[in-house]
Amino acid sequence: MYKRSAPICALILAVCLLSGCTSDASVPPSVSVVFETSTTPSEPPLPSNNATISPSELLHSPSASNRPAIDLTNEPPLSEYQQTMPVPDFLDTELQTLYRKASNLYVGPFGFMSMDIEYATFEEQTLSQYESVNVNGYEYLKAHGRYKHWEDFFIVTHSIFTDEYFNDLNTISDGMDRFAEKDGNLCVLDVANGSSPHRNENFPDEFALLERTDTTISFTVKGFYSYGYPHEGESFEERDARLKAGYESTEEFPIEMIMTDGGWRFSKFADTVLDMSYIG
């Protein structure tokens, strides 16, 4: 059906009234004249760095840019190691997967290297091929990988971490954000942390449940550590044999999950390599 907007229809009616065209023959008394108004569906606001929109609302809202809604089933993508890494056996399969996803983001983009958020989508590209943008006086790189749209990045990260914990992870210093939004794009501050060889990979992480209620799951992850370099006079083969024979120390780190309106989220996470204090 052809539709007229209300203002145009009103104008036509006014002209007809003035010209006398609204006779009994033109509009029978038993007929109701209905003017249809055209409306444009409102779009949800695009989340910004300090968005107050709740993740549960956003996850169930249509995309602000009319893109297909992101499928969280396989987001973020897990490496072969992450698919087989040690996970708490007191968590069900769904929460074990959430743990793997949290580890992916915590160790990579929020840990050792922020540019890991690109997930090697452009393996041959160097940092010089990224567009530099200014965000709040700092130089960022405009992402063009898997989560180049801030909205997608926001949805994925907030499906794993609580709002408050996301802000903690994203804040580096002096209020500067590791990841920021500009014009709807994800912008990345190129920062990285060094890794340590002292985590003894011959002894997998161990987990201990501290508390479990309907709204909270708290537990610890324990790492095993040894001096990873050859000691003076020790060959690499002897070093490897020493690492397989035992470890020199252990360290435990707290992890917490809480139930939110959108489901379980991590309010605290840890990694036995990234967070270790052992020096050797």
Cis peptide before 197 (omega within 30 of 0): no
DSSP string, 48-66: -TT--S-HHHHHTS--TTS
Instruction: Tell me what pLDDT residue 44 has.
Output: 41
Which amino acid, residue 62?
Answer: P
Interatomic CA distance for residues 30 and 214, integer angstroms: 62
Diameter of the chain measured on Cα atoms? 111
Interatomic CA distance for residues 193 and 108, integer angstroms: 10
Q: Could you say which residues of the chain have pLDDT below 50?
A: 1-63, 120-124
Q: Of 224, 250, 226, which Cα lies nearest the Cα of 238?
A: 226
Instruction: Tell me what pLDDT residue 129 has.
Output: 75
Other CB atoms within a 10 A radius of the CB of residue 24 amount to 7
Interatomic CA distance for residues 191 and 176, integer angstroms: 12
Instruction: Tell me what pLDDT residue 194 has.
Output: 73
Indicate the pTM of the whole model: 0.74
Other CB atoms within a 10 A radius of the CB of residue 118 amount to 22
Instruction: Tell me what pLDDT residue 197 has.
Output: 80
Contact 257, 267 (CB under 8 A): yes
